[in-house]
Amino acid sequence: MKIPRSHPRYGSLVTRETLVAAWKAGIVVPEGLIAHGRGEAFDYLLGEETSAPALVAEKAAAAFLVRAKSPVISVNGNVAALAATEVVRLARAIPDKLEVNLFHRPPARVHRIAGVLRKARAKEVLGLRPDARLPGLASKPAFAQRAGIYGADVVLVPLEDGDSTEALVRMGKVAISVDLNPLSRTSRTATVPVVDELTRAIPNIEKFVRELLEDAKEAARIARTYDRAGNLKATYSFLNWRLRNLLRGPKKKR
């Protein structure tokens, strides 16, 4: 099907097609499609652009990544489908490891996702030989690699669920989430919750990483002064303001 460029939801429809194609290719699972829909709804409410509080969180994320001893970016099917190029660019900038980290983990799927990352010019992709189990996940077994997420001090977990994010935080790691729902368990649990759309958030973080790599003092200051609770509060205020405006004047379609 050809989506007409004039369609009022052209951008959303194209992204949906990308995800459905990735599902057909065995990259994305059906649960990932449902999760994408939830994100879409929140992105719509947030105005489909990076908010001021999101930008603050993205800069903090960059500071933690730059200062990390052993940073890792976790990549699942949706992330590979929507932002392989962006995460690989970010990983190369830090430099940082990439680990395929899946809930639904048949080996063929892990290999396909690793393939997508390599095609996007990733140097090294972990996750193919998990050798450790994350503790404290009742509902599912979660495996990771000692050289990767398991041993990392800072983990970027875009589009991750609440259970996994919570497990990482409980292990004492700095978990940076990217999740459009500011009320999700993921956003409420992460050390640095970034409430923004993935393909906007990752390049923003990369830009800040490049800046902060040049200025270690500034990176230290940002990591030290980052106010998680204040930032979430600002995000809630922003969403509230957006909604007041949206709900005041929705135009009736004729």
Q: How many residues bind its own copies (CB under 8 A)?
A: 48
Give the end-to-end CA distance of the chain in Å, rounded to a whole number: 26
Q: What angle do CA 242, 243, 248 make, to 5 degrees?
A: 110
Among 47, 85, 120, 236, binds its own copies (CB under 8 A): 236
Quick check: 49 and 200 in contact, CB under 8 A? yes
Among 14, 25, 31, 95, binds its own copies (CB under 8 A): 31
The minimum distance between CB 27 and its own copies, in angstroms, equals: 12
Task: Give residues 162-201 in contact with its own copies (rule: CB under 8 A).
Answer: 162, 166, 181-183, 185, 188-189
The H or E element spanning position 100 is strand 97-100
Amino acid identity at 67: R
Contact between 109 and its own copies (CB under 8 A)?
Answer: no
Contact between 247 and its own copies (CB under 8 A)?
Answer: yes
Residue found by looking up tokens 């050390």 in the block: 191
Residue found by looking up tokens 């830009």 in the block: 207
Q: Which is nearer to its own copies, 74 or 186 (CB)?
A: 186
Q: Write out the E strands in 130-233.
A: 132-133, 143-144, 154-158, 174-178, 192-194
Return d(Cα 203, Cα 57) in angstroms, integer.
13
Contact between 143 and its own copies (CB under 8 A)?
Answer: no
The residues that touch its own copies, with contacts defined as CB under 8 A, are 1, 3-4, 7-8, 16, 19-20, 23, 30-31, 33-42, 44, 138-140, 162, 166, 181-183, 185, 188-189, 229, 232, 236-237, 239-240, 243-244, 246-248, 250-253
